[in-house]
């Protein structure tokens, strides 16, 4: 499997505290990967670095076949290069309808004048429907998204990711605050999405990770503690210590 994203030797500190410490992770094309680790392990910060929100003190983040350096790119450029992100706290535009949220995310020209003068593509409605069917929000398309339940907002945010049609999805705690049934639906969504693109999922819930049935990376204190199948890493003595030690 060829490498899509390569993070190597990345470190970042906040006021002297090393949140990420010489971290190296490789994500392959169309790979599903779970990232786990205790609170404060640096999982969110890892995503911040890849998406350009946080600039590391050292290291490289290399993307795609042409090996572009993501560290020189702005957040919007990185997003356009094909990396989509779902935040830990669901962030949808609550004042707008579900449809508006999805339409805004659809892969389309994104400059102001494109939006002002460009005619809306004829297949827009169709593409919106594909996404809303996938996340089960077709009936809620004209609803204000602030009125959605917590779980539905999480799905909408995943839907907004799918609408962008990225090559890599970074998904931060997608199942937080969901009922067991909702979790199952979310697992299906992510597994399906990973068929055609790479998906990196940060999650605390071990059952959820088990259902993803994929390679797992364990982060601890800003670096990789173990990597492999879930069974493999849970047998790892360091991992057991870290989890039980808390």
Partner 1 sequence: MQSSFIARNPSVLWFLLALSAFTVLVSLLSEAGGSALISTSFLKTLGKTLCLCLVAIAMDVVWGYCGILSLGHFAFFGIGGYAIGMWLMYERTAEIVTTSLDSNILPPTPDEITDAIGSQIFGVVGSNDFPLIWAFSHSLTLQLLAVVLVPGLLALVFGWLAFRSRVTGVYLSILTQAMTLALSLHFFQNDTGLRGNNGLSGLQNIPGLEGVPQATVSLWFFWASAFALGAGYVLFSWVVSGKLGSVIRAIRDDETRVRFLGYHVESYKLFVFTLTAMVAGIAGALYYPQAGIINPAEIAPIASIYLAVWVAIGGRGRLYGAVIGAAVVSLMSSWFTGGSAPDINLGVYVIKWTDWWLVLLGLTFVAVTLFFPKGIGGLFDLLPRRKGDTK
Ligand X SMILES: Nc1ncnc2c1ncn2[C@@H]1O[C@H](COP(=O)(O)OP(=O)(O)OP(=O)(O)O)[C@@H](O)[C@H]1O
Position 44 contacts ligand X (CB under 6 A): yes
The least CB distance from residue 166 to partner 1, in Å, is 9
Q: CA-CA distances (angstroms) from residue 168 to 7, 44, 237?
A: 14, 16, 31
Interaction between residue 19 and ligand X (CB under 6 A) = yes
223 belongs to the binding site for Mg ion (CB under 5 A): no
Q: Which is nearer to ligand X, 118 or 177 (CB)?
A: 177
Q: Which range of residues in 6-14, 72-80, 176-184, 185-193 is near partner 1 by CB under 8 A?
A: 72-80
Segment near partner 1 (CB under 8 A); pick from 26-34, 54-62, 101-109, 221-229: 101-109
Q: Which is nearer to partner 1, 93 or 243 (CB)?
A: 93
Question: Strand 215-220 and strand 223-228: pairing?
Answer: antiparallel
Q: Which does 8 bind (CB under 5 to 8 A by kind): Mg ion, ligand X, partner 1, none?
A: none
How would you classify the pairing of strands 168-172 and 198-202? parallel
Binding segment for ligand X (CB under 6 A), chosen from 38-46, 78-86, 96-104, 107-115, is 38-46
Q: Please, what is the minimum distance in Å from the beta carbon of residue 122 to partner 1?
A: 9
Distances (CA, A) of 176 to 28, 84, 118, 165: 26, 19, 38, 23
CB of 119 to partner 1, least distance (A): 9
Closest Cα partner for 11 from 58, 74, 78?
Answer: 58
Binding site for partner 1 (CB under 8 A): 51, 53, 74-76, 79-80, 84-85, 87, 91, 93-96, 99-100, 103-105, 110-113, 115-116, 120, 124-125, 160, 164
Binding site for ligand X (CB under 6 A): 14, 19, 37, 39-45, 88
């Amino acid at each position: 499997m060829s490498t899509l994203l390569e993070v190597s030797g990345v470190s970042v500190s906040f006021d002297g505290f090393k949140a990420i410490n010489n971290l190296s992770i490789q994500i392959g094309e169309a790979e599903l990967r779970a990232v786990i680790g205790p609170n404060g392990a640096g999982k969110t910060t890892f995503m911040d670095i890849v998406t350009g929100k946080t600039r590391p003190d050292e290291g490289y983040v290399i993307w795609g076949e042409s090996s572009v350096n993501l560290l020189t790119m702005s957040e919007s450029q990185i997003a356009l290069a094909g990396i989509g992100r779902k935040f830990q706290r669901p962030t949808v535009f609550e004042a707008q309808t579900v449809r508006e949220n999805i339409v805004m995310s659809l892969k389309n020209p994104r400059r102001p004048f494109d939006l002002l003068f460009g005619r809306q593509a004829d297949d827009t409605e169709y593409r919106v429907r594909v996404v809303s069917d996938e996340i089960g929000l077709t009936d809620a398309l004209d609803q204000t998204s602030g009125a959605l339940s917590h779980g539905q907002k999480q799905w909408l945010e995943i839907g907004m990711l799918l609408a962008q049609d990225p090559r890599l999805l970074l998904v931060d705690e997608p199942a937080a605050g969901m009922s067991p049934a909702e979790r199952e639906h979310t697992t299906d969504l992510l597994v399906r999405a990973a068929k055609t693109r790479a998906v990196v999922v940060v999650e605390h819930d071990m059952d959820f990770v088990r259902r993803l049935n994929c390679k797992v990376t364990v982060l601890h204190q800003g670096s990789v503690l173990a990597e492999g199948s879930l069974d493999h890493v849970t047998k790892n003595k360091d991992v057991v210590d870290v989890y039980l030690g808390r």
